[in-house]
Amino acid sequence: MRVLQSSRLLPGVLLRPFCALLLLLSGTPASRSDAELPCQILKRIGRTVRLGAVLLLPQQHPGAPPLSGPVRSGAARDALLRAVRRLNARAAELLPYNLSVELVMGMETGLGELPAFGVPPASRRDPQSFLESVCRTVVVQGVSALLAFPQSTGELLQLEFLSSTIQIPVVSIVGKQYPRQSKNPFHLQMSLETSHPTHADVLIFLLTMNRWYDVSLVLCKEWNVTNFLSLLYNNSKFHLGTIFNIASDSDDINFVNYLQEYLDTVKEAPLSIVTFGCGIEHFRKIFQLATNYGLMLPEHHWILGDSQNVEELRTEGLPMGLLAHGKTTEPVFQNYVQDAVELIARAVATATYVRPELALIPSTTNCMHWEEMNITSGQFLSRYLASTSFDGVSGYIKVTDPSVITSDSRYYIWSLQLDPVGKPMWTRLGRWHEGKIVMDHGIWPNKVQKPNSGGSHSTRLHLRVVTLIEHPFVFTRNVDADGHCPAGQLCLDALTNDTTIIESLFENLKSGNDSVPMEYKKCCYGYCIDLLEKLADDMSFDFDLYIVGDGKYGGWKNGRWTGLVGDLLSRAAHLAVTSFSINSARSKVIDFTSPFFSTSLGILVRTRDTTAPIGAFMWPLHWSMWVGIFVALHVTALFLTLYEWKSPFGMTPKGRNRKKVFSFSSALNVCYAILFGRTAAIKPPKCWTGRFLMNLWAIFCLFCLSTYTANLAAVMVGEKTYEELSGIHDPKLHHPSQGFRFATVRESSAEDYVKKSFPEMNEYMRRYDVPTTPDGVKYLKNDPQRLDAFIMDKALLDYEVSIDADCKLLTVGKPFAIEGYGIGLLQNSPLTSNISELISQYKSDGFMDMLHDKWYKVVPCGKRSFAVTETLQMGIKHFSGLFVLLCIGVAGSLLATAGEHIIYRLVLPRIKRKPRLKYWLHTSQRFHRALNTSFNDEQFQQKLNRLQKRCNVENNQQMVWNTASHAHWNRRKCIFKDIQQPEVNLKPCQVEDLPPVVKELPLTVNSNGKPEPLLKARHSVIHELTELEKQIQLIKQELQKAMNRKNELEEYQRTVRNPES
């Protein structure tokens, strides 16, 4: 709480810089956009509602006696500070948007250390000077309303003039109501005089509502019962019996005798006996004799006719079921001040929901400058002040006349009952409210408890409980064939909120002829049902359980409350037990016990298995890692080439004069082969430095590929996407893009929170809202999805996630709007405190923890292990990128082939004609050959190689001609002669030297770049080829002769052997 105490201002200066800013921001309603966001307004006002306070010091007029009573020096100030402090402690329940109340007190001279104003003395104070002083000190601060404490008619007239001039609501707290002629809607009076009902009105209404029309009176003292008797005579339904007056008989013997005579006359017929003016001694004698005569419940009802203070009323010697009426304690001055502050706060809160710019930004901050407006903030707020009512600490607060605030006293109906441990206690049955008795639920005069003694048995309290299906707090299943529940509690699901129908169904259920349809019967069980059973055992009550007809928690709709709240207000149910969130709107009309479960709001989304993109196989490594690998590969190949060409042992022309050369292309081939584990023929480097670098590159590739392989399955299998929401303030919720859908449950606490805190978001969301939590989860899991996000209590969402077998649900974002679940009852119910104490006891002894473990101990995602096994079977969609890459490689190879032909036919001839750029051996050996070898020489070399293959007769025979020397061709003729045998002549093979062919060859290069002589001219080559063909034909002829000779010898050998055998 912050308190501003205004100090003296310079004359003529009516605005501080802060107020000047407020003035600029306020403007007229027409000048601002109707769609101005509440958050922008809250930023302007600093999230505070300012209340002004004036006339805190009572005025002492000349000749007047000193003021006394509750309103004295300093009392108003202290009461205001205490009231604002208590209100800010409950600001979350009363005010929206996290607003708080700030007090601006206009203190006058004479209050010690507090600053003084330039206010004229009381002797020469007039309404105009009072207006100017208030404008300079309080109004300039930007207050929404004023609180005043006038002590005379003159001060009241000053407030009348002030409120009508500046058009700011003023609430005056006065000792007694001052009559006024004017109907000023800006000035309201709140009197410290509380209106009390007459005992006659209360008694007549109590007798009528219970249909106790036969009435008898007992007067222990002289008592004025004229009003009561006149009401009885004027109502034809009542029958007045004997009036027993024992006020004049003080003798105990006479008193007993007269009492016995009276009891003899009334014991025949059941009736209600009302006593007046009886003390505790009279009660003991009366009820002792009445018990002996049997004049007790249920046939006879005893009522204490005179008003009683039940806190002082004793219970000894009084019968169970005795009725009394009266109030508890008188309200004090501080209670009225607290109710006045709360009245303004409630009116501001209600007005803020309608037009926040008028409710929160004061229109009047400068009394010297007025703007023409259709409606000012004071006019707008005064309308809501006149229509606001609530149950305050001083009584029931309401505005009866447009300018009079009344406080009805807390007048209750009590009954003597037994508490859970069997002791007698005064229990409240109802209260007097707006001219009638409003009975609390659950306890009725005809449900009396008797102590367990002497064979009598106790009649347990019977309650009707409404619930709502919400897992895991309440589950339902069908009853068995006999209509019973083997486990859980029998509950009715009649799909109606009609009190008469619900009562008739339970009456039929209890009767012998059970006519309740089988489809109405359900078995209810769950977290809350276990809690309800525990409460019933500890508090000794029975209950009937049914499911709320409209399936809603409860909200204000079409001028009435729906759902659970509506059933409580209509007295269809006495308790509401489920996941019932405690919020400010519901707390205004019903009571809640202390929370038995704490939770918050959360956001539920669904994960989706997305189709693997083309580049999914590259996801195990970041793109920067891929770039780094290929950059390192080319740098390594470059250094391998440099080391090889600079080494004396390298595979280069300057090294060991090898036929092969290690070029940059060879280095790239080596590096790519090692990276991808390709088993292909490569030319490894020969120098030591190059080999060392190649092994380091192999180690680098080993770690990179092992990491890639390890992450490949996890990345490709676990690819799931979901709506990433940071919380309730996420831009996706406040500025939803096209097609983004989110919702909550209608008339739930989540909807109430969004409606109050984010009205624009609620306007967008309401079109997608769902009736129940299972519906919201279903819409999330549907294919196609009907919702993208679902906002609800996190306790319910966590359970839905835990039982989701497909593991598709996920809660995201930070929790928000901490709340609790409580048991709902009617306001001022006597059971509220008892149940709250038991809930606190259950929390301390671990019973609530046991319930949580029982209903929330579910294995999350039960099928997760099976799902992982299934998704490890990766299909073609996961590796579609590899197939695309292969296709791109084939297309690229075709382009490379075309490029080779272009280079060979267009680029190379141009380079050949130039004297420079012909040495490419360090880059590509093939490119170097192409530049330094003619096309005809290449054809000749190919033909020469074919001739060498054709001239090899067999692998183990010596070649016919030697090509070791490229300068000469040695040709030898092989001549076979008959071999000298006993009967067969064989010609030995004679090798004749062929005439040498001497040719001068042109200079060219060999495979490693050294010059070599070749044939000089093409015609000499053709001539030599002709000669070689002739020699080949000759050799073939000689070979044929040798084969024939061989066959002859083999035939001869077989012929010689046969005769010998």
CB distance 42 to 35 below 8 Å: no
Same domain, 753 and 690: no
Residue owning tokens 């009276």: 262
Is it the case that residue 862 has pLDDT exceeding 50? no
Confidence of residue 546 (pLDDT cuts 50, 70, 90): very high
- pLDDT at residue number 641: 84
**Could you tell me if residue 121 is inside a domain?**
yes
- pLDDT at residue number 854: 86
**Could you tell me if residue 1014 is inside a domain?**
yes
Q: Cα 502 to the chain's mean position, in Å?
A: 36
**Could you tell me if residue 442 is inside a domain?**
no
For the chain, give the longest Cα–Cα distance.
Answer: 184
β-bridge pairing 404-408 and 301-304: unpaired
Phi, psi of 325 (to 5 degrees): -140, 155
* Amino acid letter, residue 909: P
Give, in degrees to the nearest 5, the angle at Cα 952 between 950 and 955. Answer: 135
Task: Name the range with the highest mean pLDDT among 586-595, 857-866, 945-954.
Answer: 586-595
CB distance 355 to 33 below 8 Å: no
Is it the case that residue 466 has pLDDT exceeding 90? yes
Q: pLDDT tens digits for 550-572? A: 888 888 887 788 889 989 988 88
Task: Name the range with the highest mean pLDDT among 112-116, 117-121, 262-266.
Answer: 262-266
| CA–CA gap between residue 493 and residue 517 (Å, rounded) | 10
Q: Which domain CATH number covers 289? A: 3.40.50.2300
Domain termination site, one of 676, 708, 740: 708
Structural domain for 696, as ranges: 633-708
- pLDDT at residue number 4: 53
Mean pLDDT value of segment 600-619: 75
Q: pLDDT tens digits for 166-190? A: 888 999 998 877 777 677 888 898 8
Confidence of residue 530 (pLDDT cuts 50, 70, 90): very high
Confidence of residue 698 (pLDDT cuts 50, 70, 90): confident
* Amino acid letter, residue 67: L
Residue 85's alpha-carbon distances to 76, 90, 341, in angstroms, are: 14, 9, 11
| CA–CA gap between residue 665 and residue 288 (Å, rounded) | 121
Confidence of residue 529 (pLDDT cuts 50, 70, 90): very high
Phi, psi of 734 (to 5 degrees): -85, -30
Is it the case that residue 868 has pLDDT exceeding 90? no
Across 714-728, b (16+ Cβ under 10 Å) vs e yields ebbbebeeebebeeb
Task: Name the range with the highest mean pLDDT among 287-296, 713-722, 1044-1053.
Answer: 1044-1053
Q: pLDDT tens digits for 570-604? A: 888 889 999 998 888 888 889 999 999 988 888 98
**Residue 209 tokens, joined:** 């509502």
**Could you tell me if residue 916 is inside a domain?**
yes
At residue 24, the 3 state secondary structure works out as helix
- pLDDT at residue number 62: 44
From the list 827, 832, 831, 830, the residue with the least C-alpha distance to 389 is 827
**Could you tell me if residue 438 is inside a domain?**
no
Same domain, 688 and 733: no
Q: pLDDT tens digits for 399-411? A: 887 788 888 777 8
Q: pLDDT tens digits for 976-1017? A: 344 344 444 444 444 444 455 444 444 444 444 444 444 445
Whats the size of the chain, residue-wise? 1061
- pLDDT at residue number 46: 80
Same domain, 137 and 230: no
Same domain, 75 and 154: yes
Confidence of residue 921 (pLDDT cuts 50, 70, 90): low
Mean pLDDT value of segment 94-111: 75
CB distance 6 to 143 below 8 Å: no
List the binding residues.
581, 586, 749, 793
CB distance 540 to 447 below 8 Å: no
- pLDDT at residue number 264: 75
The number of CA neighbours under 13 Å toward the Cβ of 993 is 5
Domain termination site, one of 408, 430, 446: 408
Same domain, 241 and 365: no
Same domain, 157 and 236: no
**Residue 885 tokens, joined:** 């890459």
- pLDDT at residue number 918: 62
**Residue 844 tokens, joined:** 């301390």
Identify the weakest region by mean pLDDT among 12-16, 244-248, 251-255, 425-429: 12-16
| CA–CA gap between residue 746 and residue 763 (Å, rounded) | 13
DSSP 161: H
| Element spanning 805, H or E | none
Same domain, 1013 and 959: yes
Domain termination site, one of 306, 325, 344: 325
Mean pLDDT value of segment 215-232: 83
Confidence of residue 28 (pLDDT cuts 50, 70, 90): very low
DSSP 154: H
Confidence of residue 1059 (pLDDT cuts 50, 70, 90): low
Q: pLDDT tens digits for 507-524? A: 888 776 667 888 888 999
**Residue 812 tokens, joined:** 């995201």
Confidence of residue 1035 (pLDDT cuts 50, 70, 90): very high
CB distance 760 to 849 below 8 Å: no
Residue of 901 and 513 predicted with greater confidence: 901
CB distance 808 to 781 below 8 Å: yes
**DSSP labels, 668-722:** HHHHHHHHHT---------SHHHHHHHHHHHHHHHHHHHHHHHHHHHHHHS-EE-
Same domain, 841 and 911: no
- pLDDT at residue number 980: 41
Residue of 1006 and 651 predicted with greater confidence: 651
Residue 531's alpha-carbon distances to 600, 623, 848, in angstroms, are: 21, 57, 8
Mean pLDDT value of segment 863-891: 58
Mean pLDDT value of segment 312-324: 80
Confidence of residue 341 (pLDDT cuts 50, 70, 90): very high
Going 137 to 140 to 143 to 145, the CA torsion angle's sign is positive
| pLDDT > 70 in the chain, percent | 72
**Could you tell me if residue 446 is inside a domain?**
no
Across 380-403, b (16+ Cβ under 10 Å) vs e yields bbbbbbbebbebbbbbbbbbeeeb
In three-state form (DSSP H/G/I as H, E/B as E, the rest C), the secondary structure along 592-608 is: ECCCCEEEEEEEEEECE
Same domain, 643 and 503: no
Packing angle between helix 847-856 and helix 831-845, nearest 10 degrees? 70
Is it the case that residue 743 has pLDDT exceeding 70? yes
Q: Which domain CATH number covers 535? A: 3.40.190.10
Mean pLDDT value of segment 322-338: 84
Cβ-Cβ contacts under 8 Å for 486 (sequence gap 6 or more) = 480, 523
**Residue 979 tokens, joined:** 């071999």
| pLDDT > 90 in the chain, percent | 7
In three-state form (DSSP H/G/I as H, E/B as E, the rest C), the secondary structure along 248-272 is: CCCCHHHHHHHHHHHHHHHCCCCCE
List the binding residues for L-glutamate.
581, 586, 749, 793
| CA–CA gap between residue 372 and residue 395 (Å, rounded) | 40
SS3 content of the chain, % helix, strand, coil (to 5): 40, 20, 40
**Could you tell me if residue 471 is inside a domain?**
yes
Write the Ramachandran bin of 434: left for phi over 0, alpha for psi from -120 to 50, otherwise beta.
Answer: left
- pLDDT at residue number 929: 64
The torsion of the CA quartet 451, 454, 456, 461, rounded to 10 degrees, works out to 20
Cβ-Cβ contacts under 8 Å for 532 (sequence gap 6 or more) = 465, 489, 543, 545, 575, 577
The count of domains in the chain is: 7
Same domain, 943 and 1044: yes
Residue owning tokens 């949580």: 852
Is it the case that residue 67 has pLDDT exceeding 70? no
Mean pLDDT value of segment 247-272: 70
| Element spanning 419, H or E | none
Confidence of residue 655 (pLDDT cuts 50, 70, 90): low
- pLDDT at residue number 25: 36
**Could you tell me if residue 545 is inside a domain?**
yes
Confidence of residue 865 (pLDDT cuts 50, 70, 90): very low
- pLDDT at residue number 802: 83
Residue of 773 and 8 predicted with greater confidence: 773
Same domain, 39 and 187: yes
* Amino acid letter, residue 822: G
Mean pLDDT value of segment 919-936: 62
**Residue 480 tokens, joined:** 């068995």
Same domain, 751 and 686: no
Is it the case that residue 55 has pLDDT exceeding 80? yes
CB distance 407 to 336 below 8 Å: yes
Phi, psi of 990 (to 5 degrees): -105, 125
- The strand pairing partners of 191, in sequence order, are 174
